[in-house]
Amino acid sequence: MVAVAREGASVELDPFRISAIADSRAVVDKALSAGHPIYGINTGFGQLSDIPIAADQLEQLQVNLLRSHAVGVGEPLRVDEVRAMILLRANSLARGVSGVRLELIQFLIEFLNRGVHPVVPSQGSVGSSGDLAPLAHMALVLVGEGQALYQSQWLSGAEALDRAGLQPLTLQAKEGLALINGTQLMAGVGALVLHDALALMEAAETAAAVSIDALMGTSAAFHAAIQEARGQPGQIASARRLRALLEGSEIGQAHRKSDHKVQDAYSLRCAPQVFGAVRDAIEYVRQVIGREVNAATDNPLVFAGEGEIISGGNFHGQPVALALDVLGLGLTQLGNFSERRTYKLLSPQESGLPAFLTKNPGINSGLMITQYTAAALASENKVLAHPASADSIPTSAGQEDFNSMGAAAAMKARRICDNVATIIAIELICAAQGLDFRRPLRSSAPVERAHSQVRAIVPELDEDRSLSREIQDLAAAVIAGQFGARLLSELPA
């Protein structure tokens, strides 16, 4: 999914799904011919579901649905987030239980392959009748309305289709509803944040290892027996990785038999416990998102084997909302934990290093204010970590009386994730500078590789300079996974 969303990889429809798609559509056509009332197909929507729609108005009903629901506001979603939405909506419809035509799914795939990206406002979903407003903005472009980005130009939907060599699609009964009734904003954004969270998890452990040596901490608390005595799987995995990152460090060996204190502060000593809890939280989120990206989440669903069209509630975003709130909280803890080590690195009474890691204090402030930025972002995250899913508000005149707020959970998790990447980047800058003050002693090969990667982006701070751009560049490298598992490979230092 990430390759399609961020790298523009092409998409093809699995041919084995074609017959199931056709069979489900046949059930819809048969029900229409029989004149049975079916929610959203020949009735109104939500509180208006008891109003029948005449056969000659069914196509207009679907277009009006998109127009009336396209009321999103706020900053547009990023292109990768829009591509993730399109991909997941096509994948869901291709399950063959949504009652749409093959042409509709192929049209969504053409959007991805030709680079037609609807402009989708980020706000307006309550995450329960699906991500209705955002998906409506996405779907309007299929019928030649709305707005889209095509080849970096912001165009009307009709102009974008024309330039891409596509003709507007005429929707048939149920197809407008099938396009917007699902969890694809929260699941798509959530999947991208989850991907980045995995990179942050490893980068946070790497940054901690660099800080531990810069602070002349001990790895004794990472002993395998301690972790096994508790039995938490994330803790065991994090301790194993920390041991591997620090294996062979001259700095660790240099003070092992000295008068160095036998216990470090929690931000060093309890690294496996804190990182492990976040690892376990991420694994829970991975399982939920992994199921959701392959789920059928519209309503009603069409079961060709039984010849039935059944109304249900798979559009409700509660599973995803809870998971993304957990993800946001876990990432917030990564940021909080990292900021505490940055504080220690810059405090001479705690680190034994020069104040603010500058060789000439007074005339130079060194890295003093980087901790302010980390603290500001960490505190912002504490506000953002409040669970969106703790709230609900009724909509549609009470018909939809309990909503998940999953879209809000997804957008908060994205912002937290970006903030944490910056906080970890700041720790890496400070830890690398601290390591420079420990020369001529060397750390382990993985930590030295991490140091080199920091220095490729952020040169050693000899005299004061603005670090804003360098912090952002390093945060991008953190998100890109440059401080992850590859540091433990056999690549030359």
Give the active site residues.
Answer: 39
pLDDT in tens, 295-340: 999 999 999 999 999 999 999 999 999 999 999 999 999 999 999 9
Q: CA torsion angle for 36, 39, 45, 48 (degrees, to 10)?
A: 50
Structure tokens at 124: 């307006």
| CA-based nearest residue to 127, from 431, 448, 392 | 392
Residues 6+ apart with CB under 8 A from 54: none
Which stretches does DSSP call E strand in 61-179? 73-76, 116-118, 121-123, 147-150, 153-156
Q: Is the pLDDT of residue 492 over 60?
A: no
Per-residue confidence (pLDDT) for residue 36, from 0 to 100: 84
Mean pLDDT of 346-362: 94
Q: Name the residue with tokens 């939500």.
A: 46
Per-residue confidence (pLDDT) for residue 396, from 0 to 100: 85
Rounded Cα distance, 121 and 135, in Å:
10
User: Is the distance from CB of 443 to CB of 250 less than 8 angstroms?
Assistant: yes
Kindly calculate the radius of gyration of the chain based on its CA atoms and give it in whole angstroms. 26
User: Is the distance from CB of 81 to CB of 131 less than 8 angstroms?
Assistant: no
Rounded Cα distance, 428 and 454, in Å:
7
Rounded Cα distance, 48 and 428, in Å:
56
Q: Is the pLDDT of residue 187 over 50?
A: yes
Mean pLDDT of 76-105: 98
Per-residue confidence (pLDDT) for residue 388, from 0 to 100: 96
Structure tokens at 249: 């460090």
Rounded Cα distance, 316 and 70, in Å:
19
Per-residue confidence (pLDDT) for residue 257, from 0 to 100: 60
Per-residue confidence (pLDDT) for residue 41, from 0 to 100: 87
Mean pLDDT of 409-421: 98
pLDDT in tens, 432-487: 999 999 999 999 999 999 999 999 999 999 999 999 999 999 999 999 999 998 88
SS3 153: strand
Q: Which amino acid is at 112?
A: L
pLDDT in tens, 364-381: 999 999 999 999 999 999
Q: What is the average pLDDT score of the chain?
A: 95
Q: Is the pLDDT of residue 32 over 60?
A: yes
Cβ-based neighbour number of residue 392 at 10 Å: 15
Per-residue confidence (pLDDT) for residue 200, from 0 to 100: 98
